[in-house]
Structure 1
């Protein structure tokens, strides 16, 4: 029994003997096999298993690999993919996949074993007869393989298997019989055999009558969770092909630059972009894409979303697909054209009305998903621009001081509530600040955009640490008072309060300090307003709080703030953090419970500023089982 290339090695069990006898008949002989356990089975994983197994067996020159051609391996990959897709994706069952190489004949045997054969497939009805087929290309292949070879039943398991050999270029007589002798004579492989049947309208109606509503519901759930328009376009193709069409394409348009005028002529700027192309046969996609890019859809009926005829790209397809029908659907959301969806099916003079109606419903959902994704992208871009404008480009270098910064906003798409700054204030002074504002997003951006410039302005005007906090506190309260007065005037006039009329209480916790190089050290003056207290790590390894607690900014009018002054000697380190560090949770515990932050800092004695910052960050991340749920910022200042 050979080793399995990418998964696990299994031994022959007595319970497996009937299945092997059924699949291999009297051929017998040694076999090399690879198995994918049920918990890991996806179509992609199954394809990877077969490809890796064939490559490994050929590399090791196992007996039988002299018959293992590249085409045979490709056919085995495709058969495996379709079997698993039907079981896992369409039927919703859990399966185990096995691929075996017969050393005597070089044939590949693929088995898909259902461990729960009595469990009803997802969405099935008990009264549906066994003969009722699902009309996807994969299920037709499964039916052909099952009829040509067999289905093995054992206690607690049901196996569908296929044996592919190099005896013919069509990967076995069982597939050739399914495709017809014409396919054999033309030398077609499995990918070509899977081309759609020309007459299937009646079966489409049968399927649509049973599953259209559930299909739309599942499609809506799938599309609603996507915030990338390219991914939405890709999902649209996967939903449509091969269930509803042989191929489809999605064009997207820029809402301002790529619109069409009343005569169907592209407006100025960038026109429609062919985002995705899907075909039931993967080797047709590139040719189809090239043909479609030459002739993008040109709708002439304004904002109508219904289907209109689209020229059949026969030159990009083979002889069996030289004739067919294609339809274009405008993707419209919120009265704005976002693109076009085109579907095509060969061998039909027209699409059944049931299909066109279902695709029209699906196209509306695709358009809404694209619109939502674009709105999210715009908001994310605005937030990123705000974030870049609210924080310094770089931390200023302070003579005689090494600094290190860690800044991790929880919401990657918008401004966080934490901010920091390190800047020169003139007269040999450098100032630093670490703050946390009330709220997140635009509300946080407004307050940071108010506080940070004022900090710099007051510091450069010569105000000392405590005076800066006094004036910033008054600034926040004045803004709140003005908003409250505006709301009162609105109520007195009898009109509803507007967006800016109500009181907007704004809180700000802030650690603010000033550094002045003196002699062999650095003089530090700082104050904490409702902020986690800074910790001072001495060169001897002792840790103490470097400030006393005071009230949040923006809470009490006429509050008087005080500051602390001390010297940082060579090797002394000042650690400033936000509550994303101290209040990091693990169950009911917080990181700073029982002086956890001071204990962590004490263990950093002798380390550089950069290593201290990295260690504290790592300890904070490791403290909880999940990623941090709050913004995280810490600043390390170390006297050299």
Structure 2
């Protein structure tokens, strides 16, 4: 049922209308001569009971009517008043009355009096005041369109949006009033015409529809309205049109957009520790929701992690980092030449950018009405320009310039506060990225200095290596090394330090240096890891004690500098025997591919990570035929974001199956297949080794008895062998060395003596015995009968040393080969 045919519908004629009010007709004396049924219903008197009576008898208190009549005798017109009437049963009826004169004088009808309940009249008058207020005083725009959606009526608030009087726009189609408007509410029809036709067709009202457009009276600025629509019908239910009420919510809409912009800025700016990406995120958030264009310039050196000095802020150009415009084109896509990473921008001394940079405050510059500011050059469409410094920790890092064109609103105080908030967030993220860049650069430099750069060629193996630092977590502690050992052997090491950053790199450097020092002492792999474990545990204890002394937390995990949980794999390969001895401390085993293409992961005793103590380390020995390929690596190579270690090892095996390729090519292929996007959260190290075996003609081995006569035989054997090798130049020195070492072995050891010569890149001489006493180099006194032999040996050879085996010890010397004369 419509509101027009409801029993309680609004009567716009009012309760004092003569067709529904209580009516009485009076003669000139004030006697009742007419009485309506409505009057009978209001006061309870029948007409025969009141006709002929004075009207004063119905008024509470009586005697009040005659003065009124006298007052109105000479005052023609209508008089209204509030009067208390007495009901037949005695109760009081408060009424609003209106009296109108019919004739002048005579004894016939002279006055018509109408009355209605006072409360009903007050309610009707309030309703009428409300209707008048909606039409003339309400801030809500009310507009009525007919069924053809032509304007038929508009209140005063709606009329203010038109440039012409309302009467001149009556009959205008709705789509002609706001031709470029846009419906913002999701799920609503695309245009207001479609919205109103839907309301006309269904009768269902539409509430709080958001619409953006430019009213005819303000074509330079966008406005946003909250609109509601409902269908209008007459008393018979016929559709008359649609009513629109709209309230301008532009300020509220802009405030909501500013808040949403800050939320997006918090979620999008600074997602990476990359200066360039952070600046790009700032421009993406700002355009087009906040500005039509934005430019970001940094002080030179900031992008590389440097901190600007006050001198650099006063003078010198800025570096253009990014520019974005409202059409979606970045600087690289626009018609202007794209900026290079080193493009320098020199602003004039009186420019807003220079003023902002020198003061450290925002600067707003606006064009005069109808004009455009000349800054920045080449963009005359800018009429509002806001420059905000990028400041963090009290230092200005650069500037961000927001620009709006003539079709956009100028930057108001709320916009300026929002721009500063965007600049603060961006500056903090840039500063974090710069600090990360500085630390990463320092860590990389430290790590480059600590890691081997160019491995010296080895006779025992051919090597190739790769190291990739993590992209997201910073430089870590992965490391590798190749160390030449006595007897033409080679030591191979790879390790992984827990954590990232400078401390991890420093810990890696200490461990690598320690491994090299222990390897030079010719320890077996298990012995080397045992001593390295002792050092790591001692380092951890010292650091915990230092923290306790300073009042810091004694938790071992509180400082990633502690060498706790470090993994390491150490191997020694002997090219004479073709054997490789390995031991590992919590590290992954190596991958081995034999010359026939068989891929294996040797089952090595695991051993605990370094620094934990407890379980011992064990060595294992492998037979590696010449041409075998061995890969030593860290878990960052085989563990990825999208796969586990097992799949990574399978992929590594697939790469190494092509073991005949050059090692450098295999390294590149392994990185490309296992880490196509680079390591994301952990470093990756890879050391590829292809084994070689010394030819039998390069090695000479003799067993000698523990007899002084063996010294002479040893000299003769060495002399003949050097003659066969065309190394006669080294005969005297070598025979003297062998004589001294064999003599010492006979004097201080028991059992057979073994003498071995190896011709490699140098001449190696080894004397092995069953003793475990370490010879010491000393200065003999003038009256000593012995003690000078080892001192003489040390001065005649390039290097010398001692290594121990389960059967005893070996004293070795190394001499440089004489230069080969050119043919």
TM over 0.5: yes
Question: Are positions 1:399 and 2:459 aligned together?
Answer: yes
The answer on whether the counterparts of 2:497 and 2:504 sit within 8 Å (CA) in structure 1 is yes
Question: Are positions 1:127 and 2:213 aligned together?
Answer: no
Displacement of 1:226: 4.6
Aligned residue for 1:41? Answer: none
Aligned residue for 1:373? Answer: 433
More helix by share: 1
The SS at the match of 1:506 is: coil
Q: CA 1:559/1:279 → structure 2, altered by over 3 Å: closer, same or farther?
A: closer
The answer on whether the counterparts of 1:533 and 1:549 sit within 8 Å (CA) in structure 2 is no
Corresponding residue to 1:389 among 432, 445, 449: 449
Pairwise mapping of residues 231-250 of structure 1 onto structure 2 (< 5 A)?
A: 231-241=277-287, 243-250=289-296
Return the alpha-carbon distance in structure 1 between the equivalents of residues 558 and 384 of structure 2.
Answer: 60
Corresponding residue to 2:396 among 326, 334, 337: 337
Q: What TM-score results when the alignment is normalised by the length of structure 1? A: 0.55
Question: Are positions 1:228 and 2:284 aligned together?
Answer: no
Displacement of 1:454: 0.9
Corresponding residue to 1:512 among 562, 565, 570: 570
Question: Are positions 1:635 and 2:691 aligned together?
Answer: no
1:457-477 Cα shifts (integer Å, max 9, x gaps): 222344444432232121112
Displacement of 1:572: 2.6
Aligned residue for 1:17? Answer: none
Pairwise mapping of residues 589-604 of structure 1 onto structure 2 (< 5 A)?
A: 590-591=646-647, 603=657
Return the alpha-carbon distance in structure 2 between the equivalents of residues 328 and 535 of structure 1.
Answer: 59
The answer on whether the counterparts of 1:509 and 1:529 sit within 8 Å (CA) in structure 2 is yes
Q: Which runs of 5+ in 2 are unaligned?
A: 1-181, 188-197, 199-205, 223-247, 368-372, 693-823
The SS at the match of 1:531 is: coil
Return the alpha-carbon distance in structure 2 between the equivalents of residues 414 and 422 of structure 1.
Answer: 25
Number of residues of Structure 1 aligned to a counterpart in Structure 2:
443
Displacement of 1:393: 1.3
The answer on whether the counterparts of 1:538 and 1:571 sit within 8 Å (CA) in structure 2 is yes
1:428-486 Cα shifts (integer Å, max 9, x gaps): 33221022233344453233122101111222344444432232121112112323444
The SS at the match of 2:269 is: helix
Q: Which runs of 5+ in 1 are unaligned?
A: 1-85, 94-117, 119-124, 142-201
Q: CA 1:91/1:275 → structure 2, altered by over 3 Å: closer, same or farther?
A: farther
Aligned residue for 1:162? Answer: none
Aligned residue for 2:722? Answer: none
Return the alpha-carbon distance in structure 2 between the equivalents of residues 223 and 584 of structure 1.
Answer: 26
Displacement of 1:238: 4.7
Question: Are positions 1:307 and 2:363 aligned together?
Answer: yes
Displacement of 1:496: 5.2
Q: CA 1:300/1:514 → structure 2, altered by over 3 Å: closer, same or farther?
A: same
The SS at the match of 1:298 is: helix
Corresponding residue to 1:435 among 488, 495, 500: 495
Corresponding residue to 2:481 among 389, 414, 421: 421
Over the aligned positions, Cα root-mean-square deviation in angstroms equals: 5.0
The answer on whether the counterparts of 1:474 and 1:558 sit within 8 Å (CA) in structure 2 is no
Q: CA 1:523/1:330 → structure 2, altered by over 3 Å: closer, same or farther?
A: same
The SS at the match of 1:316 is: coil
The answer on whether the counterparts of 2:594 and 2:627 sit within 8 Å (CA) in structure 1 is yes
Return the alpha-carbon distance in structure 2 between the equivalents of residues 350 and 221 of structure 1.
Answer: 26
Return the alpha-carbon distance in structure 1 between the equivalents of residues 554 and 612 of structure 2.
Answer: 26
Displacement of 1:410: 4.4
Q: CA 1:587/1:240 → structure 2, altered by over 3 Å: closer, same or farther?
A: closer
Return the alpha-carbon distance in structure 2 between the equivalents of residues 226 and 585 of structure 1.
Answer: 17
Return the alpha-carbon distance in structure 1 between the equivalents of residues 659 and 282 of structure 2.
Answer: 57
Return the alpha-carbon distance in structure 1 between the equivalents of residues 317 and 663 of structure 2.
Answer: 52
The answer on whether the counterparts of 1:258 and 1:272 sit within 8 Å (CA) in structure 2 is no
The answer on whether the counterparts of 1:510 and 1:530 sit within 8 Å (CA) in structure 2 is yes
Q: CA 1:573/1:326 → structure 2, altered by over 3 Å: closer, same or farther?
A: closer
Larger gyration radius, structure 1 or structure 2: 2
Pairwise mapping of residues 435-584 of structure 1 onto structure 2 (< 5 A)?
A: 435-486=495-546, 495=551, 497=553, 504=562, 506-518=564-576, 522-542=578-598, 548-555=604-611, 557=613, 561-565=617-621, 568-580=624-636
The answer on whether the counterparts of 2:637 and 2:674 sit within 8 Å (CA) in structure 1 is yes
The SS at the match of 2:453 is: coil
The answer on whether the counterparts of 2:317 and 2:345 sit within 8 Å (CA) in structure 1 is no
Displacement of 1:506: 0.8
Return the alpha-carbon distance in structure 2 between the equivalents of residues 418 and 245 of structure 1.
Answer: 47
1:141-191 Cα shifts (integer Å, max 9, x gaps): 9xxxxxxxxxxxxxxxxxxxxxxxxxxxxxxxxxxxxxxxxxxxxxxxxxx
The SS at the match of 1:230 is: helix
The answer on whether the counterparts of 2:269 and 2:281 sit within 8 Å (CA) in structure 1 is yes
The answer on whether the counterparts of 1:400 and 1:522 sit within 8 Å (CA) in structure 2 is no
Displacement of 1:222: 2.4
Q: What TM-score results when the alignment is normalised by the length of structure 2? A: 0.44
The SS at the match of 1:339 is: strand
The higher-RCO structure (CA 8 Å, 6+ apart) is 1
Aligned residue for 1:211? Answer: 257
Return the alpha-carbon distance in structure 2 between the equivalents of residues 287 and 536 of structure 1.
Answer: 51
Displacement of 1:551: 2.1
Pairwise mapping of residues 115-264 of structure 1 onto structure 2 (< 5 A)?
A: 127-130=208-211, 132=213, 205=251, 207-241=253-287, 243-254=289-300
Q: CA 1:332/1:406 → structure 2, altered by over 3 Å: closer, same or farther?
A: closer
Return the alpha-carbon distance in structure 1 between the equivalents of residues 631 and 363 of structure 2.
Answer: 64
Corresponding residue to 1:316 among 377, 385, 408: 377
